[in-house]
Structure 1
Amino acid sequence: MSHSKLLVASLAATLFSTSLFAGDDDLSEAAVKERTKPVGSVYIAGAEPVKAGGARSGADVYGASCIACHGAGVMGAPKPGNADDWAPRKEQGFDVLLEHAINGFKAMPAKGSCMDCSDDEIKAAIEHMLEGV
């Protein structure tokens, strides 16, 4: 074997053996979660951070996400407290209304683009918008 081939083979063997032993081989659930946990988070200016220990209120979700379209009735979004806007939606029943809000419907994106909102928080936001209707 020539000197250059021997050098390449030696280098390849070194890299291969190093890669086998360099990583953490603990595959327990806790170890994997620790190695793959997020290293940071994103904060969008003007958005309220998720409060630890509980769901956000309907008013909080509305104010952080829903108001952008529902506040002005953008593309037919029903405005809070406006009985005429909500009447045809209420006729379909609350379950259909909730399903549309969670999964998206027509111009409304799923969860109104509040992807960190739970289904219960979306429900609370709808209930908030329906107050007085």
Structure 2
Amino acid sequence: MDEEETAQLIQPVAKVELSGAAPAASAAPRTGEQVVNSVCGACHNAGVAGAPKTGDNAAWAVRFKDGLDGMVKIAMEGKGAMPPKGGGADLTELEITRAVVFMANKSGGSFKEPAAPAPAGGESAPAEAPAKS
């Protein structure tokens, strides 16, 4: 066996290659329901580790005193067993806010879900489907 053949036989099973390009941003921010279904619901659907259970009006009523901004701040920074952004490191503040609004409104709240910001360059944002009641 020569050196090249030996090197090829003992190379790692996987390789990591870093490039200078950032990953492409998703086409549109996720809805609150999408974020809850993919991240937040893991704890908030069952009330894991003290998370206020979605639909538990009494548990959420206490949190409404902080207002939407206060609840979003807690979700962004984490609290107790909940890591920052609920563990969804790729979530934007808009997506977190939408998720908080979605869960809060399913639990007796009446917060307005924020719209996506208008795209840069003066283009109009695509129309969003109206929220379900």
> 1:83 matched to which residue of 2?
57
- Runs of 4+ off more than 4 Å: none
**Where does 1:1-133 land on structure 2 (aligned, <5 Å)?**
36-37=20-21, 52-132=26-106, 133=108
Cα drift, residue 106 of structure 1: 1.6
Cα drift, residue 87 of structure 1: 1.2
Taking the aligned partners of 2:105 and 2:47, their CA distance within structure 1 comes to 16
TM-superposition CA deviations, 1:61-84 (whole Å, max 9, x none): 000000110010001101112111
Taking the aligned partners of 2:95 and 2:75, their CA distance within structure 1 comes to 11
Taking the aligned partners of 2:73 and 2:60, their CA distance within structure 1 comes to 15
Higher helix share: 1
TM-superposition CA deviations, 1:74-122 (whole Å, max 9, x none): 0110111211110111112221111000011122110000011100000
Counterpart AA for 1:118:
T
Cα drift, residue 52 of structure 1: 3.1
Q: How high is the sequence identity, in percent, across the aligned residues?
A: 36
Cα drift, residue 56 of structure 1: 0.4
Greater Rg by CA: 1
Relative to the length of structure 2, the TM-score reads 0.61
Alignment length, in residue pairs?
A: 89
Gaps of 5+ in 1: 1-34, 42-49
Cα drift, residue 51 of structure 1: 7.9
Does structure 2 retain, via aligned residues, the 8 Å contact 1:71–1:79?
yes
Counterpart AA for 1:73:
G
Gaps of 5+ in 2: 1-18, 109-133
> 2:129 matched to which residue of 1?
none
